[in-house]
Structure 1
């Protein structure tokens, strides 16, 4: 393969890969829910509290199983 063809291939792959990465990141923001700070903090606490309660339930189940 000639040097010019190799250069064109590398250029195509690097530009194409960059565009695919940009498209993937851009598509993630389309489904994003926009909220104010207070709502965001409540949602974050709700997620954290739910995870903590699941861990606590798992620990209590393990202690009964032993």
Structure 2
């Protein structure tokens, strides 16, 4: 009986704790993103750079 109660307590703690941890991580990421905001041109440039790097990696494999 004690083992079942312990198992239930651990499950309940995980069921409540995991979403709270994920919420805190997402909230922290959003606050950092606001601080490190970039303008439209720099965002497009970074996206193009990522795409080019991906193509270069595929060429090297072949």
TM-score range for the pair, normalised by the shorter chain length: 0.5 to 0.7
Q: How many residues align?
A: 56
| Equivalent-residue separation in structure 2 for 1:52 and 1:13 (angstroms) | 41
Where do 5+ consecutive residues of structure 1 fail to align?
Answer: none
1:48 alignment counterpart: 51
Using structure 1 for the length normalisation, give the TM-score: 0.54
Highest Rg: 1 or 2?
1
Q: Tell me how far 1:37 sits from its aligned partner.
A: 1.6
